[in-house]
Structure 1
Amino acid sequence: MSLIQLLELPIFGDGRGDLVSIEAEKHIPFQIKRVYCLFNLGEHSRGMHAHRQLQQLAFCVHGSCRFVLDDGVTREDVVLSAPTKGLLIGNLIWREMHDFTDDCVIMVLASEYFMESDYLRDYAAFIDAIRSKTA
């Protein structure tokens, strides 16, 4: 089973332009409790963590970047480059973001409010959390 779950977000358009609409529990499988954007990313990589419970939908509003997802066994890459393609990231998935274009803007919809204790920022702790979940 692939770690990459791309959602085709509905686009509505006419001669005046296009609009993407995302509704909680209709287009994504969770209620949205937090929204944030990443921009002015430069050459630095981002992410390098997993979450114990939080789920996310990430998409590039502008520009592009490469996501790496890892479940402790498999690593997969995907490039996001359109506001109509959303990457669904479940809990206990290590995520990294790389190769940002200068104009990259990433929007993330999250299932939970920010809680530092939900973060797994050390890869070894992430692997331990996966093992304890399956034990």
Structure 2
Amino acid sequence: MGNVKIIELPKIQDPRGNLTFLQNPDHLPFEVERVYWIYDVPGGETRGGHAFKKQEELIIAISGSFDVVIDDGKKKEVFHLNRSYEGLHIPAGKWRSMENFSTNSLALVLASTPFDKEDYIRSYESYLKFTTSAKEQQIVAHTAINKVFVDMVKTTINDCKVLELDKNHRDKGNITVVENKSQVPFDINRVYYLYDVPGGEDRGGHAHKDLYQLIIAAGGSFDITLDDGVNKKKITLNRPYQGLYVVPGIWRDIDNFSSGSTCLVLASEKYDENDYIRDYNDFTEIKNL
């Protein structure tokens, strides 16, 4: 239906838990300006019921399942999402709603524009007028904002902190939203998430030279141990409206995953193996310790 389609995302299988990642232009046809996730949706509720004039979206069922109903003003089509490695790409100008949420479902939405209430069409009658009168919509590219650079040699665990994110509580389910240069001090260039982590396994065990991250327990809980080569600090993440901001030059280990937990990571750079420091001795040498 009008370029609405399912996009297969990478699924990197690992005995320690699976990982799916996505970045533009490899896996989605737009730059990410906003990320939000919907959780705690009561049974029988419907979310959405609106369209966007300019915004594109990619919707993923990270956990559980739900249906996305797409309506172009002439016909409807239902897409059932129930796999963490599939995303539904919805171009601008499509009326959509989300329904039939399973218990403990978690919906992740990547959006091409920052929040703009003027971009929403919330009345179906107004939407029908829009579809009959609107000409081709031109999506204006957003200029990337340069982040503040830090010297990874000098960073410490005190540069990392837990950020309180907005929790928009609603009867139909909660939403937490993160926008570039708003809730996080960087532009989001990559999104990935860990899931199906067996009990007793740990992830991480590396540091980054230039990458900034916001790590969220979008579902369940886990512990993150931060290490700057001198001091260590353990932080428990167990709320989907809190994120751990991690700067470059910090070694991290993630463990104590609860059953069914999901570790969501928003990253400042696209994947680059050269940015990883995977040997702890190399890490302490780079930190001049």
- TM-score (norm. length: structure 2): 0.44
Separation in 1, partners of 2:205, 2:249: 12
Unaligned runs of 5+ in 2: 1-156
The aligned residue for residue 9 of structure 1 is 165
Are the equivalent residues in 2 in contact too, given 1:38–1:105 (CA < 8 A)? yes
Partner of 1:98: 255
Q: Percent identity?
A: 36
Aligned counterparts of 2:266 and 2:158: Cα–Cα separation in 1: 21
Determine if contact 1:53/1:118 at 8 Å carries over to the other structure.
Answer: yes
Separation (CA, whole Å) in 2 of partners of 1:14 and 1:55: 31
Distance 1:102 1:3 in 2: 30
Of residues 58, 66, 82 in structure 1, which corresponds to 2:215?
A: 58
CA distance, structure 1, for counterparts of residue 269 and residue 164 of structure 2: 22
CA distance in 1, matches of 2:247, 2:160: 10
Paired residues of 1:3 and 1:70 also in contact (CA < 8 A): no
Q: Give the secondary structure class of the aligned counterpart of 2:286.
A: helix
Deviation of 1:129 after TM superposition, in Å, equals: 1.3
Highest RCO, 1 vs 2 (Cα 8 Å, sep ≥ 6): 1
Q: Determine if contact 1:3/1:69 at 8 Å carries over to the other structure.
A: no
Cα displacement (A) at 1:116: 0.4
Secondary structure of residue in 1 paired with 2:271: coil
Aligned residues of 2:160 and 2:247 also touching (Cα < 8 A): no
Which residue is equivalent to 2:206?
49
For residues 7-41 of structure 1, the C-alpha deviation after alignment (integer angstroms, 9 at most, x for no partner) is 00111122212100000110001000000010011
Which residues in structure 2 correspond to 1:16-55 (within 5 Å)? Answer: 16-42=172-198, 43-55=200-212
Q: CA deviation at 1:125?
A: 0.6
The Cα of 1:3 is off from its aligned counterpart by 5.2
Deviations 1:65-109 (A, max 9, x none): 000000111100010001111000100000000100111101000
* Aligned pairs (5 A) from 1:115-134: 115-131=272-288
SS at match of 2:169: strand
Structure-2 separation of matches of 1:93 and 1:4? 9
Distance apart, 1:4 and its partner CA:
4.4
Q: Which residue of 1 aligns with 2:224?
A: 67
The size of the alignment, in residue pairs, is 132
Unaligned runs of 5+ in 1: none
Q: Choose which of 60, 64, 81 in structure 1 pairs with 2:238.
A: 81
> 2:201 aligns to what SS in structure 1?
coil
Amino acid at match of 2:190: R
